Structure 1
Amino acid sequence: MRIAKGIEDLDGAPPGAVVTVGNFDGVHLGHREILSRVVAHAGRIRGTPVVVTFRPHPHVVLREASEAYLLQTYEEKLECLEAAALVLEIPFNREFSNTSPEEFVDGILVKALGAKALYLGYDFALGRGRAGSVEVLRRLAGERGLEAHVVPPLDVEGAPVSSSRIRAALERGSVDEAAACLGRPFSLRGIVAKGDGRGRKIGVPTANLHMELRKVPKPGVYATRARWKGKWHASVTNVGYNPTFVVAGAESPLKVETHLFDFNEDMYGDRLEVEFLRRLRDERKFAGVDELLAQMRIDFAAARDSSRNLLDR
């Protein structure tokens, strides 16, 4: 897969470009359906499957939202788009947000890419006031000789899959619904950083995940599995503020801390990926360490049970 950082980075128009356009945050099942159609069409005409996407995400620019809005990092998104032969990355800013649908179709799809066909998700739109709706883009593409296809919504558990739905599920802690929409468990990646060492002192060492700002599940305790140096390990993860150890009135940052079962390696500075399998309970403040440890034993048993059948995947 080649990544072109703007149209000036293209080495001419790719042969037989079959194009899709979108943000693709999370690269969920709906996105994958669109991409599979693009790849299949390109294969039929011996053309090039092309993804046009935007960096940063328009929501971050236009609504001044934090990167914590996003379901995955940009690099993770690119990994999920590897079926495309070419990803054209459009730098997104307020000036570009005023691009008219005609300018987009003529300047990028026709002139830069020489597109033969266009595939769009049913709810896609671009430009100021979402003027570039799928209906408008399909008409403009057709007038310029491009085949234009609108991919209908893909329903999971009775409702359309969307990035917004997945974000809402994570805000409720519904990692099972998020996984159903993604087609894989929701995951976080980061570097294991030194924490305050409190877990090791009570006999439960944890990996403190330092990562780019992005969406995390609702604070609570989760059955997870963690991948370190290519191997998966059953684990349990706390997303939260460590209320048992926070002095009243003091502030504590949100942390993602994972305990790997039957594991005793030094991971500091290493990359770790954590997949969320099932929500076990809310985070809560305990009267002391003994009460916390008693609850941990219950959590550990539940987490082991949830991950037991997944480790050979």
Structure 2
Amino acid sequence: MQVYQHWQGVSPEHRGASVAMGNFDGVHLGHQHVISLAAQHGPLGIVTFEPHPRSYFAPQSGPFRLMNAEARANRLAKLGVQTLFELPFDATLASLSPEAFVTQVLAEGLGVSHVTVGADFCFGMGRKGTAADLVSLCATQGITVHLADLVQVENTDISSTRIRQALSDGDTKTASQMLGHWHRIDGAVIHGEKRGRQLGFPTANMDVTGLHLPRNGVYAVYADVLTGPQKGHYLGAANLGTRPMFGENRPNLETFLFDFKGDLYGQHLSIAFVEWLRGEEKFDSLEALITQMHADCDRARTILQAAK
């Protein structure tokens, strides 16, 4: 997948794409529907924005994203996207009128041939442009447009907001039904306090800054090592939270991979949240903590083997 982080100077071989356009936070089933429709009209591309416009306009709103840019790109690549236009959402882009966005970005900059969006899509300065406006403006540039209907699961519209709520409740099953895949956090393994190694459970630590986090606690997880000599798929157990046993308060994701030996520092992992096992606890002793960790791993292994 070719990734562009600008909308000017696109190579001729990547012009003429049929693009799905939106934020695609979570790449849920509704997003996948839009993408599948776009794929019917030519070489498949995605037009999205980084950072998310909400982060630009309301930086004080707190973490809300379901996935970072890396996780989104990984998921889009699995869907067969050939070109990802990850446009920088800055003052220049935010100030473009709907007319200027279509002319300067879609037509002249990216040279797209077709655009597919959800029927509720808005664009341009102040979100003044509607999906109907997109159809008429694109027609003046020779670009066709398809408006996709909203997708429902059990008579409920799929939305990133509903997925966030399910994850906040620790309801990974409902979230996965709307996503069409397990909710994942992707990123590089960073150095932690190495307490897990001392306890006999060496963990891979990952930064979760800027993300809407699932309910704190221990999870049964699938872990995909995406880079390095030990690339592969593993079962594991992960703790998401602030580690009250050690008096810390910054959110952290630490994952213990079953049947794994090696060094993962700097490598990129994708952690899939399969089932919430329990909340965070403060134990009376390290021995009690270790006993519980063994029980957590045994339960996680049983769940994951059954879920395959």
The alignment status of 1:200 with 2:201, answered yes or no, reads no
Per-residue deviation at 1:242?
A: 1.4
Gaps of 5+ in 2: none
Contact 2:68 2:186 in 1 (8 A): no
* Separation in structure 1 between the aligned mates of residue 130 and residue 52 of structure 2, nearest angstrom: 18
Bigger Rg, which one: 1
Residue in structure 1 matched with residue 74 of structure 2 by the alignment: 79
Task: Give 3-state SS (helix, strand or coil) of 1:125's partner.
Answer: coil
Per-residue deviation at 1:309?
A: 3.5
CA-atom RMSD in angstroms = 2.7
Residue 146 to residue 67, structure 1, CA distance change in 2 (3 Å): same
The alignment status of 1:10 with 2:5, answered yes or no, reads no
Question: Relative to structure 2, which stretch is displaced further, 137-146 or 168-177?
Answer: 137-146
Per-residue deviation at 1:38?
A: 1.1
Residue 132 to residue 243, structure 1, CA distance change in 2 (3 Å): same
Residue in structure 2 matched with residue 233 of structure 1 by the alignment: 234
Residue 65 to residue 259, structure 1, CA distance change in 2 (3 Å): same
Contact 1:221 1:280 in 2 (8 A): yes
Query: What amino acid does structure 1 have at the position aligned with 2:50?
Result: R
Per-residue deviation at 1:29?
A: 1.8
Q: How many corresponding residue pairs?
A: 302
Gaps of 5+ in 1: 43-47
Contact 1:189 1:211 in 2 (8 A): no
Per-residue deviation at 1:226?
A: 1.9
- How big is each residue's C-alpha offset from its partner over 1:90-121, in whole Å with a ceiling of 9 and x where there is no partner? 22113422321111122233334454432111
Residue in structure 2 matched with residue 41 of structure 1 by the alignment: 41
Per-residue deviation at 1:14?
A: 5.7
* Separation in structure 2 between the aligned mates of residue 13 and residue 201 of structure 1, nearest angstrom: 53
Instruction: Name the TM-score, length of structure 2 as normaliser.
Output: 0.85
Residue in structure 2 matched with residue 304 of structure 1 by the alignment: 301
Contact 1:20 1:51 in 2 (8 A): yes
Per-residue deviation at 1:67?
A: 8.5
* Separation in structure 1 between the aligned mates of residue 266 and residue 106 of structure 2, nearest angstrom: 43
Per-residue deviation at 1:222?
A: 0.6
Per-residue deviation at 1:142?
A: 4.1
The alignment status of 1:270 with 2:271, answered yes or no, reads no
Residue in structure 2 matched with residue 45 of structure 1 by the alignment: none
Per-residue deviation at 1:39?
A: 1.2
Matched-pair identity in %: 35
Residue in structure 2 matched with residue 25 of structure 1 by the alignment: 25
Contact 2:71 2:184 in 1 (8 A): no
Per-residue deviation at 1:278?
A: 0.4
Contact 2:98 2:125 in 1 (8 A): no
Residue in structure 2 matched with residue 254 of structure 1 by the alignment: 251
* Separation in structure 1 between the aligned mates of residue 7 and residue 260 of structure 2, nearest angstrom: 48
Per-residue deviation at 1:212?
A: 5.9
Task: Give 3-state SS (helix, strand or coil) of 1:306's partner.
Answer: helix
Per-residue deviation at 1:15?
A: 6.1
Per-residue deviation at 1:62?
A: 0.8
Residue in structure 2 matched with residue 167 of structure 1 by the alignment: 164
Residue 159 to residue 99, structure 1, CA distance change in 2 (3 Å): same
Residue in structure 2 matched with residue 219 of structure 1 by the alignment: 216
Per-residue deviation at 1:232?
A: 2.1
Contact 1:154 1:160 in 2 (8 A): yes
Structural mapping, 1:127-138, within 5 Å: 127-138=124-135
Residue in structure 1 matched with residue 51 of structure 2 by the alignment: 56
Residue 78 to residue 204, structure 1, CA distance change in 2 (3 Å): closer
Task: Give 3-state SS (helix, strand or coil) of 1:308's partner.
Answer: helix
Contact 2:191 2:205 in 1 (8 A): yes
* Separation in structure 2 between the aligned mates of residue 282 and residue 213 of structure 1, nearest angstrom: 22
* Separation in structure 2 between the aligned mates of residue 243 and residue 254 of structure 1, nearest angstrom: 11
Per-residue deviation at 1:264?
A: 3.8
